[in-house]
Structure 1
């Protein structure tokens, strides 16, 4: 029930990269801002907030009146910033952040401001200042609280009440440890009020109910995680656990208004994490679980309306919804019949009621999707469906490739999930791009439309994306098998995925390895460790110096101080005890082994993987007589925020691959008719 390898009719694409590129969609199709970035129903379901950059240079905010004859109103449009993270505070007032997505604000360098505005664009107020002290020309009150505040929760509006406050988390350093303290702020006046709670102070993670009342907290003290909660009907907080940072017995997923605590854990004898409730009497997870997804760890969120738990959103190979409400189960089945061949994500107001309003995102692996609005009409006797719009209007699903999940055996017998994106109609083995995800302690791929994989497949390549050990989502053992394995077993998994694809006749012997962040590190290590396997490499914002990563430097500022103290010694290696291992698997020390051409790209303001990593790698390769093709982007952090930079990099990648993966003797030099990339 959790597998959704749906297929839509597609046009046949030619197999060779040069031929495929002739009819391929332009890079803008994949890397421009989406036509619809966010869409959020108001509490009543009578309005819809949408963020979009369509027809403009910046992402703005509009509101649709969903009543009969309702109009579309422009609420926020800035010449220098983009709107993101939209939430409804109440029926008439919205919360949003402003950031310059073309600068490093999108990439760990700058805090986001928080603003409130009426649905007609009036009474805009800055609630949280940005680090840049940005002030909008139509802001009625430019003074907000300091930038080290983030939005923690928006209390759910109660019937007959006008919600005029939201909960912020004040972030700071308490005794050398990161901590957050809640504070109320009035969205109309900007006035703050102390948050009254008996919870243990200085938690770094707060869990609140729909009223904004704290019910659980996790704190980091002396290198240990300490979790507490307020059991139902109790006034005294109880400790849940006190463990090392990477040894917590369960994760806190949410809390009900009745005080019920929902947790995820790995039951005895099980390989994957499940969702269940915590038993206050036995002080242990309840059995049986609420949600179990064989083959996948539970990752998701509770779907609540008021005090009612309606269902659970869970991520398996794709996103799925486990409805606990029978009315919503029936509605989901109805939607799936109506929009067959798609995954249909439902967000609703008055869910399951006779006057329900629902926003449906209908999508699959070839289609970023379309938004549909459902409005129940109990008095009219006929329910109403209407199309809101496509997320990316330029994407033609008929020209996109299918995405499939395979499970293979790595060389040591470990099961290894591998995602394959392959052009339809391709005959025989194709030139391959092994695309390694970043993190690395994250889930790499979800069954949906993915820009990079689709872009590469549209150019005639088979795209291979392994969920190497250390990746999350596939069991605790798979995650922990990656500890201290950078450049070792983690790298072997990447190699094994390519060799498997070649043995299956999916990939030819013409292969390139590519990736960002950790994926960039794996690219560099692939070229050094398996030089005979790859004809080229593409690494961006790549870790290149493990010693710099785990030790840090006074001269190279980054944002990894906390993880360097708490988790990197176990996940990557101890700077002292594992010094030899770290040096042996640090790409900057292995430049002499790298023979294949390399495209290397960095953001000049990156704080996650500072530019120093790139410069050191570039210099080492130049000293070895193999200088890379180099590009650095001004104003960018850990990724490309500006559409112009995204497009420039995509075109460089396209040209680079065409040169080095072209068939036969053309690999010895530039492909005729293909210009060399700029520097």
Structure 2
């Protein structure tokens, strides 16, 4: 697959060079010389910023908007005229990067900005909102990127820039319109943040209220630009409100308990072009997609789509006139098409690119034969291509990480193993390429959350970096992870440091039994909840885990809930008061359990080599977690390394800090479970 993509990319680069209009990221896509194969892939290649970070087709399919790392490393906005392949640059920011983009209409683009050269602690500006025509005219800033609001507000219409809390919600379905819909955060009568929907003209900057509801936190619009669904929440209740159109009042459609769902509960999904309303609800223990009858307030008996063994969490693919297909994810991602022509196109593209998941994007009102393809896999970070449905030609545009040679990456496979109580645990196993796949040093990588799906069949920079250094990587989706049904999710409640931890240790022991892992060379690593699990793994299974890597990890459950004198976390107060009691533990009724599963209380027992990394600006797990634990553990452990990145938040945003941290991790692993720690085979020279 790498060689075929490379050949196509090289021919496309030659074509662009001949027109003297080349996108900056298109230039270096060739295969690395064979002499480099014996040397490790540089760590900087894994943790560099994306070179191509976005591509969106215009509604008519005649142009492509792309986000490319240009001179100076800044992400700039370019357009490609697809019939002629002529490239035009629209922005030249020196102090910001273009972030989110969308088409207002065939001639106008709306976008927000970010600054990927700074981390969370140094952020002083918001994303703003801007619009520009594809010929470079009509530039306008629509929303402020500072705390100040510069506007003249009336009862219905406001002019000039909206506040910096403004975010793009949806573009208009009217092909001739210059309008978009945005959300803006305001405060309700109770002082709680509340969201409103505004209709904003991107040429004049004029906006008017499209929808509001006291304490609204979420919205859903239909394909005719009517706001039909609003979602409000209290401490434990979530209410779904519905209206037929802007002239009718809101009415309660459904109310549910946020933490304890029952049969009949559902989550709004989308409206199709015909006005049909779809929801996600339970089906044989998993989430499935249903058609919902708004007149009778009932769901159809049979789901439109379900993914047995997995919750259906996919997204729709629409054209202006109909629902074309649904994206989904099981052990890997895919698309089911309801349109026979797109079914055929998918088959043709998959034949050309057989080793990747090929995600097709189609224009809303196509006037051309062009389809955007993003090809990605466990070893391919992602390449954008244009497919011509008339000629069958496939033309690569560029890759997200062109320095990564997929032929040197290591394959990832979904596996399943039994925990000690019989529960089946899904996990992804990555075996380093060229190492034989047996008796390897292993890193068990624990995902954060914990209430998320951690594993995906994709290119993961940390996983691939570790594999490039010779380590097998196991990524368990322990009980409590989402995506595998309600029972699996709830099996993790009140199991921090207990059965959730057993699942992780049982995964390592499964890898030993299968012959993949050397029992004397296994380490555990993770961030946030994964950092907590790393510490508990060193405590609960000291014979199994020979070292640990914890970044931004929770070190005490009570501190997570109650805070610390040096600062509280940004976890919602309602979650701390209500959700944590049921999901993690009651501070009174479960006091003994919470103490027994607190790493900081037992820090003196950890003797293994340990790397601790924290962000000075972390608001989710404040640095107090790390400092208190480091002070406790270092008294009895001389093999603890401590590093703080003062500007970073909950994870590392800057490549330099990722490189520094993982260089430290590489050295710790080499000392603890690297080649020098391999058992000597009797009789070997």
Do both proteins adopt the same fold according to a TM-score greater than 0.5, normalized to the shorter chain? yes
The whole-number CA distance in structure 1 between the counterparts of 2:186 and 2:638 is 45
**Does 2:226 correspond to 1:213?**
yes
2:72 is aligned, of 36, 39, 56, to 56
Q: Is the 8 A contact 2:60 2:368 kept in 1?
A: no
Assess, with a 3 A threshold, how the Cα gap between structure 1 residues 512 and 65 changes in structure 2: closer, same or farther.
Answer: same
2:255 is aligned, of 234, 237, 242, to 242
Task: Give 1:88 shift.
Answer: 1.5
Task: Give 1:250 shift.
Answer: 1.5
2:270 is aligned, of 228, 237, 254, to 254
3-state SS, counterpart of residue 481 of structure 2:
coil
Q: Is the 8 A contact 2:430 2:473 kept in 1?
A: yes
1:323 is aligned, of 337, 361, 367, to 337
| 1:84-112: CA deviation from partner (whole Å, max 9, x where unpaired) | 11112222222222222233449999743
**Does 2:578 correspond to 1:570?**
no
The whole-number CA distance in structure 1 between the counterparts of 2:592 and 2:430 is 38
The whole-number CA distance in structure 1 between the counterparts of 2:146 and 2:577 is 26
3-state SS, counterpart of residue 587 of structure 2:
coil
1:485 corresponds to which residue?
Answer: 495
Task: Give 1:239 shift.
Answer: 2.6
The whole-number CA distance in structure 2 between the counterparts of 1:296 and 1:8 is 34
Assess, with a 3 A threshold, how the Cα gap between structure 1 residues 314 and 110 changes in structure 2: closer, same or farther.
Answer: farther
**Does 2:299 correspond to 1:285?**
yes
2:26 corresponds to which residue?
Answer: none
The whole-number CA distance in structure 2 between the counterparts of 1:143 and 1:619 is 52
Task: Give 1:252 shift.
Answer: 1.2
1:528 corresponds to which residue?
Answer: 539
Query: Which stretches in structure 1 are left out of the alignment for 5+ residues?
Result: 1-5, 10-19, 136-141, 668-679
3-state SS, counterpart of residue 252 of structure 2:
strand
| 1:116-170: CA deviation from partner (whole Å, max 9, x where unpaired) | 23334444333222347799xxxxxx96322222222222242xx1323333232
Assess, with a 3 A threshold, how the Cα gap between structure 1 residues 188 and 108 changes in structure 2: closer, same or farther.
Answer: same
Q: Which moved more, 1:498-507 or 1:76-85?
A: 76-85
Assess, with a 3 A threshold, how the Cα gap between structure 1 residues 550 and 92 changes in structure 2: closer, same or farther.
Answer: same
Task: Give 1:501 shift.
Answer: 0.3
1:455 corresponds to which residue?
Answer: 465
1:639 is aligned, of 651, 663, 678, to 651
**Does 2:413 correspond to 1:404?**
yes
2:398 corresponds to which residue?
Answer: 389
The whole-number CA distance in structure 2 between the counterparts of 1:312 and 1:107 is 39
Assess, with a 3 A threshold, how the Cα gap between structure 1 residues 171 and 533 changes in structure 2: closer, same or farther.
Answer: farther
1:156 corresponds to which residue?
Answer: 173
TM-score in terms of structure 1 length = 0.87
1:425 is aligned, of 429, 434, 455, to 434
TM-score in terms of structure 2 length = 0.87
Please tell me the root mean square deviation across aligned C-alpha atoms, in Å. Answer: 2.8
Assess, with a 3 A threshold, how the Cα gap between structure 1 residues 296 and 108 changes in structure 2: closer, same or farther.
Answer: farther
Q: Is the 8 A contact 1:208 1:216 kept in 2?
A: yes
The whole-number CA distance in structure 2 between the counterparts of 1:170 and 1:90 is 26
3-state SS, counterpart of residue 496 of structure 2:
coil
Q: Is the 8 A contact 2:358 2:374 kept in 1?
A: yes
Q: Which moved more, 1:502-511 or 1:424-433?
A: 424-433
Q: Which moved more, 1:107-116 or 1:224-233?
A: 107-116
The whole-number CA distance in structure 1 between the counterparts of 2:134 and 2:495 is 52
Q: Is the 8 A contact 1:107 1:639 kept in 2?
A: no
3-state SS, counterpart of residue 577 of structure 1:
coil
Q: Is the 8 A contact 1:215 1:255 kept in 2?
A: no
The whole-number CA distance in structure 2 between the counterparts of 1:418 and 1:309 is 33
**Does 2:201 correspond to 1:186?**
yes
The whole-number CA distance in structure 2 between the counterparts of 1:91 and 1:396 is 36
Q: Which moved more, 1:416-425 or 1:368-377?
A: 368-377
Q: Which moved more, 1:93-102 or 1:488-497?
A: 93-102
3-state SS, counterpart of residue 273 of structure 1:
strand
2:324 is aligned, of 296, 310, 313, to 310
The whole-number CA distance in structure 2 between the counterparts of 1:107 and 1:345 is 35
**Does 2:388 correspond to 1:371?**
no
Q: Is the 8 A contact 2:232 2:239 kept in 1?
A: yes
The whole-number CA distance in structure 1 between the counterparts of 2:289 and 2:580 is 28
Task: Give 1:436 shift.
Answer: 0.6
3-state SS, counterpart of residue 478 of structure 1:
helix
Task: Give 1:406 shift.
Answer: 0.8
1:147 is aligned, of 152, 159, 164, to 164
3-state SS, counterpart of residue 195 of structure 1:
strand
Task: Give 1:638 shift.
Answer: 1.2
Matches within 5 A, 1:578-589: 578-589=590-601
- Greater relative contact order: 1 or 2 (C-alpha under 8 angstroms, separation 6 or more)? 1
**Does 2:300 correspond to 1:300?**
no
| 1:516-540: CA deviation from partner (whole Å, max 9, x where unpaired) | 1111111111112211111111111
Assess, with a 3 A threshold, how the Cα gap between structure 1 residues 143 and 215 changes in structure 2: closer, same or farther.
Answer: closer
| 1:548-607: CA deviation from partner (whole Å, max 9, x where unpaired) | 111234641431134323422222223333333222212111101111111111111111
Assess, with a 3 A threshold, how the Cα gap between structure 1 residues 196 and 634 changes in structure 2: closer, same or farther.
Answer: closer
The whole-number CA distance in structure 1 between the counterparts of 2:281 and 2:3 is 36
Query: Which stretches in structure 2 are left out of the alignment for 5+ residues?
Result: 5-35, 151-158, 680-685
Matches within 5 A, 1:158-177: 158=175, 161-172=176-187, 174-177=189-192
2:154 corresponds to which residue?
Answer: none
Task: Give 1:259 shift.
Answer: 3.1
The whole-number CA distance in structure 2 between the counterparts of 1:122 and 1:614 is 51
Q: Is the 8 A contact 2:369 2:388 kept in 1?
A: yes
1:514 corresponds to which residue?
Answer: 525
The whole-number CA distance in structure 1 between the counterparts of 2:369 and 2:524 is 49
1:43 is aligned, of 39, 59, 63, to 59
The whole-number CA distance in structure 1 between the counterparts of 2:191 and 2:501 is 35
The whole-number CA distance in structure 1 between the counterparts of 2:554 and 2:142 is 36
Assess, with a 3 A threshold, how the Cα gap between structure 1 residues 452 and 21 changes in structure 2: closer, same or farther.
Answer: farther
1:82 is aligned, of 97, 107, 110, to 97
| 1:280-339: CA deviation from partner (whole Å, max 9, x where unpaired) | 355332132111111111011111112411111112111111111122112111221222
2:81 is aligned, of 61, 65, 68, to 65
The whole-number CA distance in structure 2 between the counterparts of 1:282 and 1:173 is 31
The whole-number CA distance in structure 2 between the counterparts of 1:332 and 1:166 is 32
Assess, with a 3 A threshold, how the Cα gap between structure 1 residues 176 and 581 changes in structure 2: closer, same or farther.
Answer: farther
Task: Give 1:409 shift.
Answer: 0.8
Q: Which moved more, 1:90-99 or 1:163-172?
A: 163-172
Assess, with a 3 A threshold, how the Cα gap between structure 1 residues 531 and 37 changes in structure 2: closer, same or farther.
Answer: same
Q: Is the 8 A contact 1:178 1:220 kept in 2?
A: no
**Does 2:559 correspond to 1:545?**
no
Number of residue pairs the alignment of both structures matches: 634
The whole-number CA distance in structure 1 between the counterparts of 2:523 and 2:236 is 41
3-state SS, counterpart of residue 492 of structure 2:
coil
Task: Give 1:508 shift.
Answer: 0.7
Task: Give 1:177 shift.
Answer: 3.8
Task: Give 1:657 shift.
Answer: 1.1
3-state SS, counterpart of residue 589 of structure 1:
coil
2:660 corresponds to which residue?
Answer: 648
Q: Is the 8 A contact 1:107 1:637 kept in 2?
A: no
